[in-house]
Each structure stands twice: as C-alpha cells, then as structure tokens.
Amino acid sequence: MKLNEADVIAILLDRRPEADMAKQFGVAKNTINRIRTGARWAHVAPDIQRWHRYVRASSPADVVAQRSTLDPVTGCRNWDGSLQSEGYGNFSFDGQFYLAHRVAYEAAKGPIPDGLLLRHSCDNRRCCNHEHLTPGSDQDNKDDCVSRRRHYFGEQHHWAKLTESQVQEIRASKSRNKDLAAEFGVDPSAVSHIKRNRNWRATP
C-alpha cells in the first residue's frame, strides 16, 4: 500500500510494535522502522522520529516488556524483535547479549538455576510469557520435542503430507504464511511452525 502523510503521522504517534503497524498499513515491518527512525519521510516529524531513535529502555526486562505483544488467543507474549538461529528472541542491551524469554522469566521468577534451560509449554520460541516457561534440562527439552513431533504426526496429519522438499521450499520462501498455506494446502499454523522450527522433518 502507498502511504500518505497522514498515515506516516499515525505510524509515528502510535506506540504499537512494528509488526502490528505493518499489518495495519499493509507494508513491510522494515518500512515502519525506517519511517519511525526517520530514514524515510524524514521531513514529516523530525522530533518524533528523533525520539523513536533515542528512546531507551531502562533494563533488559524493560526491553522485553516494550518489544513483546500479548496474543489474547494463546496467552503467548510474542517477541517482536530479531530472532537468533534457533528461533529465540534476542537483543543486546548495554553491550551485552540477551535471550528475551530468559530475561522475562528471570524478571518474574528470579534466577534460572545453573545449567538449566527454559522449556516452552506453548512450543512457541518467541514467547516471553513466564507462565509458559519452566526450567528443565537439555534432555527434558529433547523429550518434549519427541513427544510433540509424535503429536503433530498423530493428530495433525494434514501437516505430514508435505514432502521434505516442500518443507524446504516453504522455509526458503519470502511469501506470507497465509499465501504459502493456501499454496500447499495446509494450515497457516503449520507454515509458521515449519519456518520457526529448523529441526522439522517431513518424516518422523
């Protein structure tokens, strides 16, 4: 969609995450970011754009609070920023590197015991809702994966009809999940799962 000046002002005054604004205005997330930071439409409202550039969170937990959005249906608090290679939200703050879900958990419940990782009961790695996180061992996490895979193949067999090459095609594609789902005849949640979970196999 082509944006006009009124749209740009609306984007600048709204504090919702980039993803939500992108959806509303039918543009890429990056476009929203460029508008907000003044890389585009710099003449519209330089003061607000400067604010978007320099607004700073006061702590890592504050970053997570500002950059995640509650999904009212699933109860997941989805990280809106970048993801590391395994699909977990990550960011740096004061020169240190953080994983969003671990920060959220520690802010709510205290330190994670040494050597343990956090398991997502919702199987959504972007999720930063501490209620969906439980400390566990690496082995627990692997067991979760196995039982979930069994679940996908047992109950959601419409996902399993995809071949390995189709799975790779979906993962490589830049098309929207909705469009891919229609193209391959699967549910959009299957597409999003495939893109998120790099360990996905077409055959169990």
Binding site for Zn ion (CB under 5 A): 76, 122, 124, 127, 129, 132
Q: Please, what is the minimum distance in Å from the beta carbon of residue 109 to Zn ion? A: 15
List the beta strands (DSSP E) in 71-128: 77-79, 90-93, 96-99, 117-120
Tokens found for residue 172: 């490589």
Q: Please, what is the minimum distance in Å from the beta carbon of residue 78 to Zn ion? A: 8
Complex with Zn ion: residue 49 or 129, whichever CB lies closer: 129
Complex with Zn ion: residue 36 or 132, whichever CB lies closer: 132
Helix/strand/coil percent split, the chain, to 5: 50, 10, 40
Complex with Zn ion: residue 20 or 183, whichever CB lies closer: 20
Dihedral angle sign, alpha carbons of residues 167, 170, 171, 173: positive
Complex with Zn ion: residue 7 or 123, whichever CB lies closer: 123
Q: Please, what is the minimum distance in Å from the beta carbon of residue 75 to Zn ion? A: 6
Beta bridge partners of 120: 133
Angle between the N-to-C axes of helices 5-13 and 18-25, in degrees from 0 to 180, rounded to the nearest 10: 160
Q: Please, what is the minimum distance in Å from the beta carbon of residue 99 to Zn ion? A: 15
User: Using an 8 Å Cβ cutoff, are 160 and 202 in contact?
Assistant: yes
d(CA 200, CA 115): 26
Complex with Zn ion: residue 7 or 140, whichever CB lies closer: 140
Which H or E element spans position 135? strand 133-136
Complex with Zn ion: residue 61 or 76, whichever CB lies closer: 76
Q: Please, what is the minimum distance in Å from the beta carbon of residue 123 to Zn ion? A: 8
Residue 202 C-beta-side C-alpha neighbours within 13 Å: 11
Q: Please, what is the minimum distance in Å from the beta carbon of residue 136 to Zn ion? A: 15
Residue in this structure with the two tokens 């969003």, named with its chain if needed: 100
